[in-house]
Chain A
């Protein structure tokens, strides 16, 4: 069975500082990894995904994520946080094949303060 762990319920960072939101995964086979962001009472917005190739993936709004196969991690990063980045972030994993479900972590709340 596949699973995703987001070890931090909340991450606090000052505006202008770099941010990292952690994600580790467990799958049988090659993973496809996704990051989504959710604002209050809204659906999930796609940020970026890793399929294959370069381990550093760049996405929307200045976010990037690094795939690390040996550590089974896919941490989300941004060099300089904005107050408007404050939201709930979800990591998700899927494997190859149409029968595979997209499995989400429990989410990490990012709070960016002035």
Chain B
């Protein structure tokens, strides 16, 4: 059974804290993605990575950074959390060798910044 696992379902952090959201996939996929989902705005791409140590900005990268040290793990970092980063965060992966293949999603992390 293929899996994308996000480290936390719910997270509460204080303004100014450094926050790490972790995502691990077990399908040997090259592509990994981080999205945030907000009511009325849908899913918006923050960053994606198509290989180890490679990263590309998505539509809303401001306030975020990412790390891909190993193929299976893609971390989203909030350097200094702010209340406007309260959101649902979703991680996904896909196979770069099969571009027409399916994207798989984790269960989501609901982050609240207080």
Is chain B a partner of chain A in the same complex?
Answer: no
What is the interface of chain B, defined by CB distance below 8 A to chain A? none
